Structure 1
Amino acid sequence: MNLALKKMYLENWDNLSNELKGILNDDTKEYKPTNPLLIYLDEEKYKSSDIKIMIFGQETNDWGDDFNGDPDDALNTYNDFFNSNACYGYGGHFWNGLNRFLTLLNQKFPDKTIGSIWNNVIKVGNSGRNKNNPPEYIYNIEKTYFNVIESEIEILQPNIILFVSGPYYDVEIRNSLPDVSFGKLSDSFSERAIAKLKFKNLNNVYRTYHPNYLWRKGINNYFYEIINDINLGF
């Protein structure tokens, strides 16, 4: 899987790299791109897991500083941060939220192993820890030259996908997955709060609020609603 991911990234890399370097060298552009979020698996653990889940956040700002044009460096950064579990030591609402969801999911399936992947709806964020969404001149480059999320899903075949990106990022989800559709999960929550997504043959795809919001509104209630709907055929 790692080889397939890297091959796919490299097939899309040259144009992305040339365009992003152009922004770095353009003094008229206030915001500069950081490195893209490239997935690198703990492949043995992931392949052997009974449950495979991909969890999407929003975007990663200042991911390895300014874009440096080195895909191997981006892959190593992901491996060092996520597969080592250093991400959970980083703390914050997002990582605590992911940990809470995985804990509750494990409670529903206590005899099953879980392999998790972290991803982002926007793959190229701002450099310099600027927390704003990347400007259109960065985002449009990603969507034109590096629209790879559908390919990542095809390679990794998760049986659960959870977007904790919030409703304001639904347009970005649609830009990445053109055939996706959104619907209401249940009468307990609005579609804005929790949506169940249909995408190809995947049955367990959901979108809810970002953990920053969920921690203030009763995070377990939202996560239980999603987890109770998950059907993996066990």
Structure 2
Amino acid sequence: MKVFLDDERSTPDGWIRAYWPDEVIRLLQAGQVEVLSLDHDLGDDSRGTGYDVILWMETEVALHGFSPPLILIHSANSAAAQRMRAGVESIARLASRQSFANLKVKFYEEEIVTVRGGVQNSLNSLYEKFKNEVSLPAELAERASPPLLLSVSDKWVNAEKRVLVVGQETLGWDFHPGDYFPDLKDPIMTFADFQVTPSSVAALTAGYRDFEFARHQPGNYNSPFWRAYRSVRSSLGEDVDGAETAVLWTNLFRMSLDNGSVYENGSSEEAALIREAGSALLRAEIQVLAPTSVIFFTGPNYNEHLYAQFPGVEPFNLESYEPEKTSMLKHPLLPIRTFRTYHPAYLARSGQWGIISEINAWNQESD
């Protein structure tokens, strides 16, 4: 029996659903569980979390010789997931010190598929909520593009270093039947289309994946932004192309306006409305994705929008750079290694491209 403990995500095919720790513990006591996949936050901490199941198994292995199942973690709570993984490793050591290495390898190999599905499912839930709850004025919704929605790969989930690159704006982001998603029957050209098209979340995440970071757009591929993006991938020892990556991309503005820049085409009120429509989504994505590093290639002209999306964010000095232009950023939702610098187009024009190499090098340093 495969048991899936979760309060919100869809149950994978072939798994038995459980909602609370006591349900899982009863099944474990009956000796029926071969594989167990655990979420941490279950909606009511007074009834326990996934970590309580880990603690129960650890005690039973230590005191009563309990034989644990294969244990997987699919929690989006990065701190809790780390604690749960430590508990799983303790269980493995207690169960069999001689075979611990094999157990650990099996654990992580199996975890990749389950966690990736969990991360993408969590993102898709955010995107469906965004789709159903965000309200833009009707005229603005017809002028705004569909939103940028991310797709994660196995490499992202399994990587020790995960870098989220944040640019300024999403430009020219629309979809036609046959572009990427075979079930798309009608074009998704505007934010209004996105909100009324039944398969729009699936279509846009498929579009993100198949876009492959401008790989199929020769004119865009060699732009400064995408050259900077590929330099980050190269610094992690990755192939610079392909959808399998530990470097994802998003933007401060998730939608464009009038097929171009919100910053240039919109009034200050319109820009604020579009920015705020995506602000909560960006913050929630970061919590789900748990990047180990974030790089804002946004430039000082977008500081207003950056600070509005992360209230209370604190820039602090990075070497001798001016902190309002190139700095590290401190905020509860951002990882320790969060950098903010100019857009790569400006860095290329001003002869300061070396800042990107420096950020890549700082990312490689040990904490």
- Name the TM-score class by shorter chain: 0.7 to 0.9
Q: Residue 116 of structure 1 aligns with which residue? A: 247
Q: Contact 1:57–1:120 (CA<8 Å) still a contact in 2?
A: yes
Q: Residue 139 of structure 1 aligns with which residue? A: 271
1:97 is aligned to 2:232 = no
Q: Contact 2:252–2:275 (CA<8 Å) still a contact in 1?
A: no
Q: Contact 1:88–1:96 (CA<8 Å) still a contact in 2?
A: no
Give the TM-score normalised by the residue count of structure 1: 0.81
In structure 2, relative to structure 1, the CA distance for the partners of 1:170 and 1:219 (3 Å cut) is same
Q: Contact 1:162–1:206 (CA<8 Å) still a contact in 2?
A: yes
For 1:94 and 1:197, the matched residues in 2 are separated by: 21
For 2:270 and 2:212, the matched residues in 1 are separated by: 25
| Equivalent of residue 195 in structure 1, options 327, 333, 336 | 327
Instruction: Kindly provide the CA deviation profile for residues 187-223 of structure 1, in whole angstroms up to 9, marking residues without a partner as x.
Output: 2x22244111012262100011111111123344212
Larger radius of gyration: 2
For 2:276 and 2:298, the matched residues in 1 are separated by: 21
Higher-RCO chain (CA-CA 8 Å, sequence separation at least 6): 1
Q: Post-superposition shift, 1:176? A: 1.4
In structure 2, relative to structure 1, the CA distance for the partners of 1:103 and 1:151 (3 Å cut) is same
The one-letter code of the counterpart of 1:45 is K
For 2:136 and 2:287, the matched residues in 1 are separated by: 26
Look up the SS of the partner of 1:121 in the other structure.
strand
Look up the SS of the partner of 1:61 in the other structure.
coil
Give the TM-score normalised by the residue count of structure 2: 0.54
The one-letter code of the counterpart of 1:95 is W
For 2:285 and 2:204, the matched residues in 1 are separated by: 15
In structure 2, relative to structure 1, the CA distance for the partners of 1:24 and 1:5 (3 Å cut) is closer
Q: Contact 1:38–1:74 (CA<8 Å) still a contact in 2?
A: yes
Q: Residue 144 of structure 2 aligns with which residue? A: 33
Q: Residue 344 of structure 2 aligns with which residue? A: 211
In structure 2, relative to structure 1, the CA distance for the partners of 1:140 and 1:223 (3 Å cut) is closer
Q: Contact 1:56–1:119 (CA<8 Å) still a contact in 2?
A: yes
1:19 is aligned to 2:136 = yes
How many residues were matched structurally?
A: 220
CA RMSD of aligned residues (A): 2.8
Q: In structure 2, list runs of 5 or more residues that go unmatched.
A: 1-118, 175-188, 195-199, 239-243
In structure 2, relative to structure 1, the CA distance for the partners of 1:144 and 1:229 (3 Å cut) is closer
Q: Residue 62 of structure 1 aligns with which residue? A: 172
For 2:297 and 2:310, the matched residues in 1 are separated by: 16
Instruction: Kindly provide the CA deviation profile for residues 85-142 of structure 1, in whole angstroms up to 9, marking residues without a partner as x.
Output: 44687321211121123324549xxxxx960110101112124245735444543333
In structure 2, relative to structure 1, the CA distance for the partners of 1:114 and 1:38 (3 Å cut) is closer
